[in-house]
């Protein structure tokens, strides 16, 4: 990348955040395909942390999953209650909402040599309500419950190497998601059979952590198109190495591509295309019917320099395509905002 462009990128790199996560790199290990933000927040893989030094980022993602979907279309709660879970032979579970707030702190270091490392620490606030199974889609049924969890999620540590080409504009990633988040949180029963206020087991996919150690691998590239435009692309794969308490998250693949425009001095716009495909969860405690799927998001965003070293940014993810296994809740939009600092 050109020296002038690098200096400009250094001052506005915040707005170019984008999991994953893998998983995109999503904010946490997310079992259901629609539970997480697929914004690509890996600035090292976007070519924005190739100079030696440290940077830190604090981001908030808000997802209100309030739309029931079945396959590629939306579905009413009443219609969902009439569908049969083909894995269990019982009626499908009808969920009401899952409201998520992810607060993610990221610390990144790039050496003078062509390598870097990123530490991602998420804090998860999640409220959830389900009508359970066997109801009419309006009143609580068997195993209905509500839950509110606030806890540390699963930490990720991912390294990168980009010394394959003289331009240092592509490379590979390898790292791990660690089982730091709790996977034993409970909720409160609303099942009419009671007991009223009894302790309910939260679905494994809605816990702050998965309980597993996952391996993360990826490949990325970036370059300038001209003086005003640059691009980046990244693909990542995540795989759980074990099954814990009868549960293992499904393998996932995340793809991201983006364009950045530098023609305006006071603001840097960016447009991303984010794709995430997740296999269904596994294990005797997992919901193997209503987990997994494919999501495609269009993600416009901007960044604004606050000082020479600090920038503020915001993104909105709009779903273009959602193909979910079984009956699942999905968000209509995902909103992200944060600040980024170099030092």
Per residue in 167-178, pLDDT (tens digit) is 888 999 999 999
Statement: residue 237 has pLDDT above 60 = yes
CATH number of the domain at 219, please: 2.40.128.130
| pLDDT at res. 35 | 58
User: Which residues form the domain of 126?
Assistant: 3-342
Per residue in 70-122, pLDDT (tens digit) is 999 999 999 999 999 999 999 999 999 999 999 999 999 988 788 999 999 99
Residue pointed to by tokens 């083909």: 86
| pLDDT > 70 fraction of the chain, expressed in percent and rounded | 85
| Whole-number Cα distances in Å, 136 to 28, 82, 87, 110, 133 | 33, 8, 20, 55, 9
Residue pointed to by tokens 């950045």: 260
**Residue 19 — pLDDT band, cuts 50, 70, 90?**
very low
Q: Are 196 and 217 in contact (CB under 8 A)?
A: no
User: How many structural domains are present in the chain?
Assistant: 1
Q: What is the mean pLDDT of residues 269-282?
A: 96
Joined tokens for residue 333: 């939009």
Mean pLDDT of the chain: 87
| pLDDT at res. 42 | 59
Statement: residue 208 has pLDDT above 50 = yes
Q: Which residue has the higher pLDDT, 1 or 121?
A: 121
The structure's pTM equals 0.86
Count CB neighbours of 161 within 10 A: 14
Between CA 52 and CA 36 the distance in angstroms is: 31
Statement: residue 195 has pLDDT above 50 = yes
Dmax over CA atoms of the chain, in Å, equals 68
């Amino acid at each position: 990348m050109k020296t002038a462009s690098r200096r400009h990128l250094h001052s506005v790199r915040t707005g170019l955040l984008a999991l994953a996560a893998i998983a995109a790199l999503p904010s946490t290990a997310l079992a259901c395909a629609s539970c997480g933000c697929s914004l690509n927040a890996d600035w090292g893989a976007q070519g924005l942390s190739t100079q030696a030094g440290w940077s830190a980022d604090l981001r908030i993602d808000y997802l209100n999953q309030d739309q029931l979907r079945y396959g590629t279309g939306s579905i009413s709660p009443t219609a969902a209650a009439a569908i049969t879970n083909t894995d269990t032979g019982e009626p499908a579970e009808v969920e009401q909402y899952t409201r998520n707030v992810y607060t993610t702190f990221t610390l990144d270091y790039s050496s003078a040599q062509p390598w870097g490392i990123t530490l991602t620490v998420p804090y998860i606030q999640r409220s959830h309500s389900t009508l359970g199974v066997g109801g009419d889609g309006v009143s609580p049924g068997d195993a209905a419950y509500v839950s509110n969890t606030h806890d540390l999620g699963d930490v990720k540590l991912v390294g990168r190497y980009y010394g394959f080409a003289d331009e240092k504009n592509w490379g590979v990633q390898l790292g791990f998601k660690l089982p730091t988040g709790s996977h034993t949180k409970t909720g409160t029963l609303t099942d009419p059979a009671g007991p009223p206020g009894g302790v309910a087991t939260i679905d494994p996919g809605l816990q702050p952590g998965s309980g597993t150690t996952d391996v993360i691998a990826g490949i990325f590239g970036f370059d300038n198109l001209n003086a005003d435009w640059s691009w980046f692309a990244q693909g990542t794969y995540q795989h759980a190495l074990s099954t814990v308490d009868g549960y293992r998250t499904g393998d996932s693949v995340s793809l991201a591509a983006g364009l950045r425009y530098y023609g305006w001095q006071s603001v840097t716009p960016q447009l991303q295309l984010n794709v995430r495909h997740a296999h269904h969860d596994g294990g005797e405690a997992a919901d193997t019917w209503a987990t997994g799927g494919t999501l495609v998001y269009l993600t416009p965003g901007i960044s604004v320099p606050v000082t020479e070293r600090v920038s503020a940014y915001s993104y909105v993810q709009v779903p273009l395509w959602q193909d979910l296994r079984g009956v699942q809740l999905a968000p209509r939009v995902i909103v992200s905002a944060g600040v980024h600092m170099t030092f």
